[in-house]
Chain A
Amino acid sequence: MARSLDDVTKSANIINEATQHFYEVEKREGNVSPLAEGQIRLQGAQVTNFSSQYGSESSISYVALNLAGQLSIFPKYGDYTQSCVVRTYGPWWKDAPASTKPYHGTPSFTSEDFLEVSFSEYLYPVRVEIYETYNPGSVVRILACDGAGGTDTDRGKVTWATLWAQDKPQLAKQRPRIFAPPIKKVNFATNLIRIELNSSYLDYYSELDGIKLVGTLTLPMDEIFRNLPPLCFADEDWAENNVIQSKKSLQNEEKNLYLRVISDLECKLGDLELTSTEDSEENFFTYLPRELLQLILSYLDLSALCKLAQTCTLLKDNCYDPLLYADLNLQPFWSQISGFHLVNLVSRCERVQRLNLSWLGGAGHIHHQVLRRLLSSIRKLQVLELSCCKFINSLYLISIIESCRTLTELNLSGCTSIEDFSIFNTHSLTQLKRLNLYRTKIDAQPMMSLLQSNPDLEFLNMSSCVCLRPQANQILAHIGLCCKKLRGLDIWRTTNISDDGFSYIYNNCSQLEDLDVGWTAALYSQTGCFVNLARNCKKLKKIFLTANRTLRDCDLLAFAEHCPDLEQLDILGSRSVDEGAILEVLEKCTKLTFLDVSFCVGISEGNACEWRDAFPHVDIKRSFQDISSS
């Protein structure tokens, strides 16, 4: 973000230059990107699946379905409603009190969100063009689906081929861009492309205008891949020069830690040599105590463990030891796992405590009995993540709830196929500390049963739950009365919330640290709700009041006075907030690291630049639509 108005002018020039470049290419060649002979370019027909979206469920603004269809913005650059945007970006959600502990292993899997787009015809992919119109650089993987492939026709296997992947998200200049990396040649025709995104290094939300698939109707020659014309600007030099310093130092620290551990291990192993006699049944590993072998194996990730288990019986016994699977993360392998693999894992799953099955289901059918068998074989499962599992419906939910009585954390975000949550009325879980129901269709009755049975609930995410809207205030009242230990509440886009329900939250949940009430149109500052919130919940670290048009100076002054631990504050789109109040927050809340003042009528870019200079530890965000007029 800009430090001075000169920076803004420089950025504006870069953006305008890029936009002009694309306009000229279009004028010259009839299309923003040239097409070779024999190739067809198709725009996305429909977005069939996605992990999250910034917009409302039935809206056309900032929603995932904007990725398909015609381009609406490109080659302009800015924060426009016609774009496709995912819910989160940057480190902010990971740094917030409500963040979950990351899973161990698989550092090469960095995807946080995904979008699947279908096309009207089957093409052999030659190029995938992603039109980025704001904060480019979020795409980390591109996959193509071979629906007709796989020989396991009875098991309904679906294969996904990775066309392109990069572990470290790229750093790109802030300007409109057609992202079209060199993709691997595959020998099948596809009509379904999946892109995986990681926006954690970006300055603000990454916004995409469209996706186009360039391909041929018949298997292409290899030369086509070698002779593809370059499309976007060369960003390599930019990436070299601008690695984020703090992240780099963290990686160095971790590397040093690993090096130290390895050298310790080397000392402990001493001078053992690898001897091989003709018919010796002993090997190197038999000299080691089992605990030491387990220690070594604990550094390996799941795929390495599986491969190692195939080498010899001793290693197989050790690799299958249930204690190695306390943290089981299957999300990185979503494209390969079907019910068959889950059955094979059953023997190793006794001691699993945290199980991540997010994103599964895309690679083959998983029967609900398989899931039940897997979950029943686990003695005391505490954390179960099923984010974006489209195959989970009411039947599966029943299997899950009946098999896992001891769950303390349940993540069902994005499980839009569940229509009936009434299982919670009869067999509710009782030990929940964390519950994520983002974008599910849960309705009021099961929700209230869940709240009544789980008084220890600490983190609740019921954002974008459309079916809860009619009784939103009653549900908030229930939360306040039943869950007094609440530390994090995410009710983003729960539109009918007003002070009637919200008052129960601030009057009862004094331990609240993380609160997101963005895009809730009926919370009026004039009722005093925000001042009361500040007075009663002094431990607040994160407050998101995005698009609350009623916010006033007195609310910000209340936060400044009563919430000294405040770290993240979002007041996007407020109409009547003045610089003075924001300055007060900046001065009094010394632990502040994030402040979003985008589209606030009373705040100019000049204000933002001044504050960035004066308070360098605070990342002050100010988004724009047309940079020349911001």
Chain B
Amino acid sequence: MQSVAQYGRIVARAIAAGIHNEFQLKSPYDRPKEPLHFVSGVSGFSKSLSKSNHTKWTFGDDAYFISRNKVADVIGVADGVGGWRSYGIDPSTFPRTLMLACERMVRDGHFVPQSPANIIAAGYSEMLEQKVPTLGSSTACVVSLHREERTIYSANLGDSGFLVIRDGEIVHRSTEQQHYFNAPYQLTVPPPSLDTQWLSDSPDMAESSSFKVQDGDVLMLATDGLFDNLSEDMIVRSLVALHDHRDEERIQHAARNMADYAYQLSLDPDYMSPFAISACDIGINLSGGKPDDITCIVARVTHQSDIFL
């Protein structure tokens, strides 16, 4: 059913584009509006040296997913709030389960590509359907590329985020949401009690946006471990080269380099990281990087030369 509607849409667009082109000066370099897809690479580091990265799709207390279905390519990250460790709860369970639930929903098509906030909300309600009692909290940021519409839709809750880089400039970004310094908006399943002392934000607090993308745009989705250690200029400089490369290996390499760079700087005690700068802004005298779990997904928006699932 959906494919019939889609086919109808493609035909309608083709006709509209055709009529439009009749009345316009056709540039010889004009390419037809093909659907776009993500070519992505992911890399990251866990802040604790002992925890080896055996679990799929996690780096320490961060979790992510990369998935696709017939209509869209979707990527997401979730940063587990480490404070739960002092209550005897493993902070990585919540983000991991959340991302797995979101991934399954995307893969099986139980979501609307134009509304990634719904994926976050549905993933969060799935946390309550686990038989194993799951406690904890995390941020969440999901970006969905609707291939036909050539548009990315995003939803962000907390201090993870994404950037879109085009021609050496940041053309779109997410906004960081926090209650106060180092306390981001977070989805929480608290220990059941009548008092509400836990920071718990509803999925409707997520900030949504949409943005039209082009071939060559580079999107980077990361947790605060990266943004707190690398300034935006440094990020743009690392990724500008990807405009001309579209193979997966190169993109994976870029993600690895960026995560590495952030990791090195996070351990540097003298470097004035963005985290240190914002701390100083509010009167806390800090310097150095911020050791944290780092997760970085780099995705290049590319023309789809052959449609495949």
- Tell me, in angstroms, the Cα distance from A60 to B133 when the chains sit together: 17
Q: Which residues of A contact B131 (CB under 8 A)?
A: 79, 81, 547, 572-573, 598-599, 623
Is the pair B132, A625 in contact by a Cβ cutoff of 8 Å? yes
Is the pair B132, A60 in contact by a Cβ cutoff of 8 Å? no
Q: Which residues of A contact B110 (CB under 8 A)?
A: 60
Q: Which residues of A contact B126 (CB under 8 A)?
A: 59-61, 81
- Does A69 touch B at the CB level, under 8 Å? yes
Is the pair A601, B108 in contact by a Cβ cutoff of 8 Å? no
- Does A417 touch B at the CB level, under 8 Å? no
Q: In whole Å, how far is A331's beta carbon from the nearest beta carbon of chain B?
A: 31
User: How does the 8 Å CB contact mask read for A382-414 relative to B, with 1 for contact and 0 for none?
Assistant: 000000000000000000000000000000000
Q: In whole Å, how far is B71's beta carbon from the nearest beta carbon of chain A?
A: 15
Q: Which residues of B contact A573 (CB under 8 A)?
A: 131-133
| Contact status of A72 and B132, CB under 8 A, knowing A526-B193, A526-B194, A550-B192 | no
Is the pair B104, A82 in contact by a Cβ cutoff of 8 Å? yes
- Does A188 touch B at the CB level, under 8 Å? no
Q: In whole Å, how far is B87's beta carbon from the nearest beta carbon of chain A?
A: 12
Is the pair B129, A575 in contact by a Cβ cutoff of 8 Å? no
- Does A441 touch B at the CB level, under 8 Å? no
Is the pair A60, B107 in contact by a Cβ cutoff of 8 Å? no
| Contact status of A70 and B129, CB under 8 A, knowing A60-B101, A524-B192, A526-B194 | no
Q: Which residues of B contact A55 (CB under 8 A)?
A: 129
Q: Which residues of B contact A527 (CB under 8 A)?
A: 194
- Minimum CB distance partner of A550 in chain B: B192
Is the pair B192, A72 in contact by a Cβ cutoff of 8 Å? no
- Interface residue count on the B side (C-beta < 8 Å): 19
| Contact status of A61 and B129, CB under 8 A, knowing A69-B108, A82-B104 | yes
Q: In whole Å, how far is B104's beta carbon from the nearest beta carbon of chain A?
A: 6
- Does A521 touch B at the CB level, under 8 Å? yes
- Minimum CB distance partner of B193 in chain A: A526
- Does A62 touch B at the CB level, under 8 Å? yes
Q: Which of A79, A81, A524 has the most CB atoms of chain B within a 10 A radius of its CB?
A: A81
Q: Which residues of B contact A70 (CB under 8 A)?
A: 107-108
Is the pair A601, B104 in contact by a Cβ cutoff of 8 Å? no
- Minimum CB distance partner of A574 in chain B: B133
Q: Which residues of B contact A541 (CB under 8 A)?
A: none
- Does A474 touch B at the CB level, under 8 Å? no
Q: Which of B101, B128, B129 has the most CB atoms of chain A within a 10 A radius of its CB?
A: B129
- Does B191 touch A at the CB level, under 8 Å? yes
Is the pair B192, A549 in contact by a Cβ cutoff of 8 Å? yes
User: How does the 8 Å CB contact mask read for A543-556 relative to B, with 1 for contact and 0 for none?
Assistant: 00001011000000
Is the pair B129, A81 in contact by a Cβ cutoff of 8 Å? yes
Is the pair B129, A59 in contact by a Cβ cutoff of 8 Å? yes
- Tell me, in angstroms, the Cα distance from A147 to B181 when the chains sit together: 63
Q: Which residues of A contact B53 (CB under 8 A)?
A: none
Residues of B91-117 at the interface with A, using a CB-CB cut-off of 8 Å, are: 101, 104-105, 107-108, 110
- Tell me, in angstroms, the Cα distance from A79 to B129 when the chains sit together: 13
Q: In whole Å, how far is A206's beta carbon from the nearest beta carbon of chain B?
A: 15
- Minimum CB distance partner of B109 in chain A: A69
- Does B125 touch A at the CB level, under 8 Å? yes
Q: Which residues of A contact B105 (CB under 8 A)?
A: 60
Q: Which residues of A contact B194 (CB under 8 A)?
A: 524, 526-527
Is the pair B193, A60 in contact by a Cβ cutoff of 8 Å? no
Is the pair B193, A62 in contact by a Cβ cutoff of 8 Å? no
- Does B130 touch A at the CB level, under 8 Å? yes
- Tell me, in angstroms, the Cα distance from A69 to B69 when the chains sit together: 12
- Does A356 touch B at the CB level, under 8 Å? no
Is the pair A601, B130 in contact by a Cβ cutoff of 8 Å? no
Is the pair A601, B192 in contact by a Cβ cutoff of 8 Å? no
User: How does the 8 Å CB contact mask read for A565-599 relative to B, with 1 for contact and 0 for none?
Assistant: 00000001111000000000000000000000011
Q: Which residues of B contact A549 (CB under 8 A)?
A: 133, 191-192
Is the pair A599, B129 in contact by a Cβ cutoff of 8 Å? no
Is the pair A521, B133 in contact by a Cβ cutoff of 8 Å? no
- Does A496 touch B at the CB level, under 8 Å? no
- Tell me, in angstroms, the Cα distance from A21 to B133 when the chains sit together: 32
Is the pair A59, B132 in contact by a Cβ cutoff of 8 Å? no
- Minimum CB distance partner of A493 in chain B: B129
Residues of B165-206 at the interface with A, using a CB-CB cut-off of 8 Å, are: 191-194
User: How does the 8 Å CB contact mask read for A46-66 relative to B, with 1 for contact and 0 for none?
Assistant: 000000000110111110000
Contact with A575, one of B108, B130, B191 (Cβ below 8 angstroms): B191
- Minimum CB distance partner of A61 in chain B: B129
Contact with B133, one of A79, A526, A601 (Cβ below 8 angstroms): A601
- Tell me, in angstroms, the Cα distance from A56 to B129 when the chains sit together: 8
- Tell me, in angstroms, the Cα distance from A81 to B131 when the chains sit together: 8
Q: Which residues of A contact B108 (CB under 8 A)?
A: 60, 69-70
Is the pair B104, A599 in contact by a Cβ cutoff of 8 Å? no
- Tell me, in angstroms, the Cα distance from A524 to B192 when the chains sit together: 8
- Tell me, in angstroms, the Cα distance from A575 to B190 when the chains sit together: 12
Q: In whole Å, how far is A623's beta carbon from the nearest beta carbon of chain B?
A: 7
- Minimum CB distance partner of A62 in chain B: B129
User: How does the 8 Å CB contact mask read for A594-630 relative to B, with 1 for contact and 0 for none?
Assistant: 0000110100000000000000000000010100000
User: How does the 8 Å CB contact mask read for B122-165 relative to A, with 1 for contact and 0 for none?
Assistant: 10011011111100000000000000000000000000000000
Is the pair A521, B128 in contact by a Cβ cutoff of 8 Å? yes
- Minimum CB distance partner of B110 in chain A: A60
| Contact status of A59 and B125, CB under 8 A, knowing A82-B104, A524-B192, A526-B194 | yes
Is the pair A81, B130 in contact by a Cβ cutoff of 8 Å? yes
Q: Which residues of B contact A61 (CB under 8 A)?
A: 101, 126, 129-130
Q: Which residues of B contact A521 (CB under 8 A)?
A: 128, 192
- Tell me, in angstroms, the Cα distance from A82 to B103 when the chains sit together: 12
- Minimum CB distance partner of A575 in chain B: B133
- Tell me, in angstroms, the Cα distance from A72 to B108 when the chains sit together: 11
| Contact status of A599 and B192, CB under 8 A, knowing A60-B108, A60-B110 | no
- Tell me, in angstroms, the Cα distance from A348 to B131 when the chains sit together: 49
Q: Which residues of A contact B125 (CB under 8 A)?
A: 58-59
Residues of A428-477 at the interface with B, using a CB-CB cut-off of 8 Å, are: none
Q: In whole Å, how far is B137's beta carbon from the nearest beta carbon of chain A?
A: 16
Q: In whole Å, how far is A55's beta carbon from the nearest beta carbon of chain B?
A: 6
Q: Which residues of A contact B133 (CB under 8 A)?
A: 547, 549, 573-575, 599, 601
Q: Which of B125, B129, B131 has the most CB atoms of chain A within a 10 A radius of its CB?
A: B131
Q: Which residues of B contact A598 (CB under 8 A)?
A: 131
Q: Which residues of A contact B104 (CB under 8 A)?
A: 60, 72, 82
- Tell me, in angstroms, the Cα distance from A549 to B122 when the chains sit together: 21
User: How does the 8 Å CB contact mask read for A256-275 relative to B, with 1 for contact and 0 for none?
Assistant: 00000000000000000000
- Tell me, in angstroms, the Cα distance from A81 to B130 when the chains sit together: 7
- Minimum CB distance partner of B101 in chain A: A60
- Tell me, in angstroms, the Cα distance from A573 to B128 when the chains sit together: 11
Q: In whole Å, how far is B98's beta carbon from the nearest beta carbon of chain A?
A: 13
Q: In whole Å, how far is A485's beta carbon from the nearest beta carbon of chain B?
A: 33
- Tell me, in angstroms, the Cα distance from A601 to B192 when the chains sit together: 14
- Tell me, in angstroms, the Cα distance from A598 to B130 when the chains sit together: 12
Is the pair A599, B191 in contact by a Cβ cutoff of 8 Å? no
- Tell me, in angstroms, the Cα distance from A59 to B105 when the chains sit together: 10
- Tell me, in angstroms, the Cα distance from A521 to B304 when the chains sit together: 46
- Minimum CB distance partner of A523 in chain B: B192
Not counting A72-B104, A79-B131, A524-B194, a sample of 13 additional A-B residue pairs whose C-beta atoms are within 8 angstroms of each other reads A55-B129, A59-B126, A60-B101, A70-B107, A521-B128, A524-B193, A526-B193, A526-B194, A547-B131, A573-B132, A574-B133, A599-B132, A599-B133
Task: Across the A-B interface, give the 10 residue pairs with the lowest CB-CB distance, nearest first.
Answer: A61-B129, A550-B192, A549-B192, A69-B108, A599-B131, A599-B132, A59-B129, A575-B133, A549-B133, A573-B133
- Could you name 8 residue pairs across A and B whose Cβ atoms are closer than 8 Å? A62-B129, A81-B126, A82-B104, A521-B128, A524-B194, A575-B191, A599-B133, A601-B133
The interface of chain A, by Cβ under 8 A from chain B, is 55-56, 58-62, 69-70, 72, 79, 81-82, 521, 524, 526-527, 547, 549-550, 572-575, 598-599, 601, 623, 625
